[in-house]
Structure 1
Amino acid sequence: MSASVLSLYRRITRWPAGHWLFSRLICLKAPYFTTIAPRFVMLQPGRCEVRIRDRRRVHNHIGTVHAIALCNLAELSAGMMAEATVPADMRWIPKGMNVEYLKKAVGTMHGTATPEAAAPASGASQEWPVKVEVVDDAGETVFRARVLMWLSPRKRS
């Protein structure tokens, strides 16, 4: 599926409103992420950038972007980067996530996921750490996450 998602992204984002359409398609596949209304900015092997707008539905009681909305942004961007990067005969699932809330998250959030190590080769199951940095409109880092992905061979049908 790796190549197909990346191929779909490359095809669709050439169209007007293509980034919006791709984002909607991903949310159809994984409906929980509609809670943050993500917009994919870039997807390529080794990098995924996703933006969430500042809207009331992602706010907490003090009017800033909720901690869990930031975690959702981190999980989505790390997962899609993994999807575009790992070999097609491997699958991935988040195994754990460590997060740091560095300052109040106000405004549009822009998350960037990149691997901490080179893309793994096909073969044995293994852990693969992915770092995610989320910045605000001013470019200041408000949140960091380390998502530990578990990679394993896809089952043959």
Structure 2
Amino acid sequence: MTAAKNSMCRMVDKTASLPAGMRSWVITRMFGKFVPFLGTAGLVFEEVGRERMVVSVKNRKKVQNHIKGLHAAAMALLAETASGFVVGMNVPDDKLMLLKSMKVIYYKRAQGDMRAVATLNAEQVQRMFAEDKGDVLVDVVVTDESGESPIVCEMVWAWVPKKRKEA
């Protein structure tokens, strides 16, 4: 059973006829209107779907640390953004999504630009529609230019009804 599309998903669908490069640019700008900090950090939405989200960031001065690598907070933002927006593509419009917990373990120095790939499976997506409230551990893999994962992340997102039930 395919879950109904929410407003974010319908908005992305409107870009389907655009060329791939332009589509990424337009979606990045649209999502930047929801969360202005994404534009400040220079995050780019490379692939947008209900079960897979790919977000990248270039290692440039405004997101670097003192040793010219991507700042730890920028790496965490990358994982949080990819995982949050893949959930956002699925949570029904009558529900509110919230980051419940975020765990980031830094293993080694990152090299160059970075990319986060967040995925949900069909069962996780279906739960967002079937359950009034709940949470989901979103699989997110962050890699650098070498193809290695300098960090490992656990992002748990929750959803609750936008309107509270009256007692």
- Indicate the TM-score class for this superposition, using the shorter chain for normalisation: 0.7 to 0.9
Q: 1:33 aligns with which of 24, 38, 44?
A: 38
1:118 aligns with: 124
Please list every run of 5 or more consecutive structure 2 residues that lacks an aligned counterpart in the other structure: none
Residue aligning to 2:159: 151
- 1:24 aligns to 2:24 (yes or no): no
In structure 1, runs of 5+ residues without a counterpart are none
Shift of 1:124: 2.9
Task: State the Cα distance separating 1:48 from its structure 2 match.
Answer: 0.8
Aligned sequence identity (%): 28
Q: Rg bigger for which structure?
A: 2
- Number of residue equivalences: 156
- The answer to whether the Cα contact below 8 Å between 2:84 and 2:99 also exists between their aligned partners in 1 is yes
The structural deviation recorded for 1:57 is: 0.8
Distance in 2 separating the partners of 1:45 and 1:19: 15
Question: Which of 113, 129, 135 is the matching residue for 1:127?
Answer: 135
Letter in 1 for 2:47: M
Cα distance in 2, alignment partners of residues 14 and 53 from structure 1: 27
Q: Does 2:99 correspond to 1:89?
A: no
AA at the equivalent of 1:145: C
> What are the Cα deviations for residues 80-101 of structure 1, in whole angstroms up to 9, with x where unaligned?
1001123343321101100111
Q: Which whole-Å CA distance do the structure 2 matches of 1:14 and 1:101 have between them?
A: 39
The amino acid that maps onto 1:33 is: L
Query: Does the Cα contact within 8 Å between 2:113 and 2:145 map onto a contact in 1?
Result: yes
Query: Who is 2:8 aligned against?
Result: 5
**Pairwise CA distance, 1:13:** 5.0
Q: Quote how far apart the aligned CAs of 1:141 are.
A: 1.3
What TM-score, normalized by structure 2, do the two folds share? 0.82
1:100 pairs with 2:100: no
Q: Which amino acid aligns with 2:134?
A: Q
Is the partner of 1:48 in helix, strand or coil?
Answer: strand
Q: Aligned runs of 1:62-73 on 2, under 5 Å?
A: 62-73=67-78
Structure 1 stretches of 4+ with a deviation exceeding 6 A read none
The answer on whether the counterparts of 1:103 and 1:142 sit within 8 Å (CA) in structure 2 is yes
TM-score, normalized by length of structure 1? 0.87
1:75 aligns with one of 52, 77, 80: 80
Separation of aligned partners in 1, 2:98 and 2:139? 15
State the secondary structure of the residue aligned to 1:23: helix
